[in-house]
Amino acid sequence: MSARALFTEWLTFLASEKRASPRTVRAYGDDVERWLDFLMRHLGTAPDAEALKTLSAGDLRAFLASRRGEGLSARSLARTLASVRAFHRFLERRKSIANAALMQVAAPKQPRTLPRPLAADAARQTLVEAGATGRGLSGEPWERARDEAVLTLLYGAGLRISEALALTGADADAPALRVTGKGGRERVVPLLPAIGSAISRYAALCPFPIERSGPLFFSKTGKPLGPRPVQKVMETLRIQLGLPPSATPHALRHSFATHLLQNGGDLRAIQDLLGHASLSTTQRYTAVDEAKLLAVYDSARGKAA
């Protein structure tokens, strides 16, 4: 059986059985398609099932080296490797086409980066300005209320922008949200009164009917709201408020976690609220807190000197 035919089966598996999002299927598919294209050039012929069994770790390292030469970052290379491994795990489990050597290739080291949250005052001011009129933000009052509600969900509930935009009309008056995040993991997120109030203001002004099974947030043309308008609002607010380039919609989610931790929040509870599969992912926020304390300490020492 040809590798291309196996590749097509794998994509179907991802979409139908794994229920991966179209974006995930496309990203993984692009990575593995490049892997198969590389093998055709590397081997001098289109690979089949037997060829996939006999590939060496060196073959995969050569592919990763070629992708690095094309300018891929360490993070993108790690995703590429994860995609190739996922494909070959499928071959092993579903097609009995095993290749242990490929699973031994180590992922490239990732530069350690810390989340970059906003200060608490800056986060609150961002929400206030998003809903204000006459501040240089375009749009009708209902659009300003919508933007405020979306950003409040990111900061007040720790949602990813995709999770906020996936909410339906049934969530408009719910006391808590049942959110499906990365990897299909579900979590329940309580809604603070301020979030409920922001959503209610938007719902009262929205010119489009909000049905329980339909989208909660709309674009100005009446279609489901996409991420770009929200990103543009944050770009405008970043300039108006003098915020750093890291002040993106996702920074509000980082701010949610960081500010909870700084105010005594339990790390495990924050993990559940964020929907992280691993506690180590959530622990990055403790490093943010430590970095801030060290900066304050260094500043105090400098003044004392």
In the annotation, is 253 catalytic? Answer: yes
User: Of residues 160, 238, 254, 259, which has the active-site annotation?
Assistant: 160
**Residue whose token pair is 């496309």:** 26
- For helices 267-274 and 249-262, what crossing angle results, to 10°? 160
In the annotation, is 160 catalytic? Answer: yes
User: Of residues 187, 253, 254, 259, which has the active-site annotation?
Assistant: 253
Question: 113-148 burial string, b = 16+ CB within 10 Å, else e?
Answer: eebbbbeeebbebbbebbbeeeeebeeeebbbbbbb
Contact 168, 267 (CB under 8 A): no
User: Of residues 79, 250, 284, 292, which has the active-site annotation?
Assistant: 250
User: Of residues 28, 155, 202, 285, which has the active-site annotation?
Assistant: 285
Q: Where are the alpha helices (DSSP H) in the chain?
A: 3-16, 22-43, 49-53, 57-69, 74-95, 120-131, 141-157, 161-165, 193-205, 227-241, 249-262, 267-274, 279-282, 284-304
User: Of residues 182, 212, 223, 268, which has the active-site annotation?
Assistant: 182
In the annotation, is 88 catalytic? Answer: no
In the annotation, is 182 catalytic? Answer: yes
CA-nearest of 135, 297, 165, 183 to 231 is 165
Could you list the active site residues? 160, 182, 250, 253, 276, 285
